[in-house]
Amino acid sequence: MGRGRLVIAVIIALMAIIAYFSSTSENPLTGEKQRVAMTPEQEIALGYKSAPQMAAQMGGLSQNEKARALVRQVGDKLAAESIAAKSPYKFSFHVLADPRTVNAFALPGGPIFITEGLLRLLKSEAELAGVLGHEIGHVIARHSSERLAKQQLTQGLVGALVVGSGDYTTAQIGQVVGSMISMSYGRDDELESDALGIRIMAEARYDPRAMIRVMEVLAKASGGARASRNSSPRIPRPKTARRASGKKSPGASPTACPKG
């Protein structure tokens, strides 16, 4: 009985490993060889199917038409005048009504969101371009699809561990290890998206130096730690965001960004 369980566990693990390493493709925009779980078409379908529920969880879309128009204007310029224009993704840019959460995130395939809470802290269009460019970077670097592929591998290996050991406690340890792997991978994603965001800003003729203040704003909002901005394939739950205090800063407004 024990040997049979072990054989099944080995088969499950091998299938997970083979599936992961056979999903390699080269990203035509970054030149990076990636292991991904979805085609671009599947990423677009997943992102746009998930977008309404994601928006609802963050308080819905903003009714401030000036703020919405500004974000669409800057986002569309970035998408049209940078490396992002060569991608197969369908970018759209949205403002969320939440005035307290300082956050921005991208869904697979192109939907990008920024909260009123973050927008009101930005002082120029260039700073807004920095935030949106970073999120565009996540999309064109296919970070959601990469992370999903790694999660599928982890789930397969944990499943094999459960079958082979018959011990759920051991499986929990495996899940913790898998989570640690995913966390490390996410930090690499952030660094790559920072670099892509700066490139996208420059190509669309925004001053990349504005990204410095964006980093400062996000670090302050996160209590001094590096801000965690990343899209997550675990739809529909967005990444955890720190909520700012209810006090508004002087002149704070979702439409307060002067032209950068």
Please give the positions annotated as active site: 135
The phi and psi torsions of 33 (rounded to 5 degrees) equal -85, 125
Instruction: Give the whole-angstrom CA distance, residue 28 versus residue 37.
Output: 16
Instruction: Give the whole-angstrom CA distance, residue 249 versus residue 14.
Output: 55
Phi and psi based region of residue 223 (left: phi greater than 0; alpha: psi -120 to 50; beta: remaining) = left
- Whether 36 and 142 have beta carbons less than 8 Å apart is answered as yes
Total residues belonging to the chain: 260
- 209: which 2 tokens? 């130096």
- Whether 112 and 136 have beta carbons less than 8 Å apart is answered as yes
Signed CA dihedral, 15, 31, 212, 119: sign only = negative
Phi and psi based region of residue 177 (left: phi greater than 0; alpha: psi -120 to 50; beta: remaining) = alpha
